[in-house]
Each structure stands twice: as C-alpha cells, then as structure tokens.
Amino acid sequence: MDPEADNVLVALRLAALPWRETATGSPQAAEPEVTGSSRQWKTTTQAGIRLGITGRAVRLAIKEGRLPATNVDGRWRITNEDIAHFSAAKAAQAA
C-alpha cells in the first residue's frame, strides 16, 4: 500500500473517532435498527420461502455461520442481500 495513502486513511479514522462519540454519545458504532415493518429485513420463515427451504433449515444455516443474521429480541432477522448471497452460494455448490 502507498504510505501516503495509508497516512491519510489513519488520519481520517482518528478524526472520525471523536466525531462519532459526539454524534452518537458512544465510541461504538450503532447497531442497525430492525423493525417489523422494514422491507429490508426478513424473518426465518420469509427467508425460507425465498430460499425454498424450511425456517428450521434457515436457523440451522444461521447457527452454522453459513447465513449472516441479526438477533433482535430473540428473533432472527436476515437482510435481502444476505439471502441472495446464500442462494448464490447454494447454486454454486450444486453446479
């Protein structure tokens, strides 16, 4: 990597850290908000329907780390993008 570019990236990161703390009040990045009405997030049942598998199989894929998901109040939520990636990975394995 270019040392000058690396120095610029480090300086940007260092400048962003105090800003994040003042903007959010926390040094940690905020977790994404998930609401039941959000079209971006799907339940395990909805993901299973799109993938052609059961909700139980979706939960197993999450447990095994094959399908990324976010646990909100004890319920798994999966993004449309992660469903698409999982589906493509399954298709690639079948080929």
Helices (H), the chain: 3-24, 44-51, 55-63, 80-94
Instruction: Tell me the per-residue pLDDT of 54-88, one tens digit each, with 9 for 90 and over.
Output: 999 999 999 999 999 999 889 999 999 999 999 98
Count of CB atoms situated within 10 Å of the CB of 43: 16
For residues 92 and 88, what is the distance between their CA atoms, to the nearest angstrom? 6
The pair of three-digit structure tokens given for residue 95, joined into one six-digit string: 């080929």
Instruction: Tell me the per-residue pLDDT of 85-94, one tens digit each, with 9 for 90 and over.
Output: 999 888 888 8
**What is the pLDDT at residue 25?**
57
| Residue of 31, 52, 32, 38 whose CA lies nearest to 80 | 38
**77 bridge partner residues:** 70
Which residues, in sequence order, are CB contacts of 14 under 8 Å at separation 6+? Answer: none
| Residue of 32, 37, 59 whose CA lies nearest to 48 | 59
The model carries a pTM of 0.58
Instruction: Tell me the per-residue pLDDT of 29-55, one tens digit each, with 9 for 90 and over.
Output: 556 555 554 568 899 999 999 999 999
**What is the pLDDT at residue 3?**
80
